[in-house]
Amino acid sequence: MKSVILKKMTALVLFFWLVSMPATLAEAANKALILNYHHLDPNPRTSSTISPRLFAEHMKYLKDHGYHVISLQQLKNYLLAPRTKGAGNGHHGNIALPDRAVVITFDDGYASFYEYAYPVLKEYGFPSTMFTIVGKVSNSPNEIPKLTWQQVKELAATGLVDFQSHTYDMHYLVGKKSALIAEHPQKVQKDLHMSRDVLSFHTGRFVDAIAYPFGHYNPSLIHIARQEGFKLGFTLNQGAVQKGMNPMQLPRVAVGDEKFTVAEFEKTLLRYLAQ
């Protein structure tokens, strides 16, 4: 009798485990980690600069350990797809994120992307997004060199590099606040409008995502950005992107400096994309 009861209990536990397992796996896959880089330099001197060697090691780690690097467009399609009745936990309509999904982003538009990062990304077939200070393209005297319009067009034509807004020329602080928050709303609106128009003109691609300078944002800025046609907004808040998040307040994890050794890079990925 005891043996029969034990078998029934075991079968019941197994049944509930099997029933819950698909949802659990779908929930684990239902997230993406957005990585953020800035400048690459063989001799890094700032906290937002990574050596080409270490960047290449990051990309190799992603490839060797089964991470799926998706484009910003794929992430947007997932986040903005309407929910349909009966869609699973990992789906919006018929769109799903792959397991261990990663998005690679760069800020500012440094020429070092063209020289050091893109060749590695091309080797692995990884898509990436460059959030560009549009007014600095081909116009950065006395600064770390930025991309030229010729390079932007060349990269955009590959289909692997997506160019989105990091403002036109309002990437600066007013006191301790981002100019996009501190300056008059009309000035902000004009800047965002110009960033979209100019970038679209030169790339021939649709621009509807913005990375907020310094990660600063507030409700007023989000409202203006939406009015100007932006669908996605990116912060520097830590965390993975998951369903139900406000698409104008998406987190990114900055990993573009020398403290992110391969071991630290691995820990970061596991922390946010743990199964």
Query: Taking the chain (275 residues) in consecutive chunks of 10 residues, what is each chunk's mean pLDDT?
Result: 49 42 49 98 96 99 98 97 60 77 99 99 99 95 94 98 99 97 98 98 97 98 99 98 95 98 98 83
Q: Both tokens of residue 45?
A: 């001197």
Does a structural domain hold residue 67?
yes
Rounded CA separation 137/110 (Å): 9
- Note whether 105 and 234 are within 8 A (CB): yes
Q: Are 232 and 76 in contact (CB under 8 A)?
A: yes
- 156 is a domain residue: yes
Q: What is the CATH number of the domain that holds 208?
A: 3.20.20.370
- Asked, for residue 80, whether it belongs to a domain, the answer is yes
**What's residue 62's pLDDT?**
99
C-alpha–C-alpha distance, residues 135 and 139, integer Å? 7
Q: Give Cα separations from 42 to 12, 45, 146, 202, 238 (angstroms).
A: 59, 9, 17, 30, 27
Taking the model in full, what pTM does it have? 0.87
Beta bridge partners, 210, equal: 165, 233
From 123, 113, 118, select the one nearest 60 (Cα to Cα): 123
> Residue 83 has what pLDDT?
65
CA distances from 93 to 70, 83, 241, 242, 248 (A): 18, 5, 18, 15, 20
Question: Do strands 101-108 and 31-37 pair parallel, antiparallel, or not at all (unpaired)?
Answer: parallel
* Pair 248, 222: CB distance under 8 Å: yes
Eight-class DSSP state of 173: E
Annotate 145-156 with b (16+ C-beta within 10 A) or e (fewer). ebbbeebbeebb
Domain ranges, residue 110: 32-273
- The verdict on residue 227 lying in a domain is yes
Q: For position 30, what pLDDT does the model report?
A: 86
Q: How many domains does the chain have?
A: 1
Whether 117 is in a domain gets the answer yes
Distance CA 168, CA 243 (A): 30
In a domain? residue 222: yes
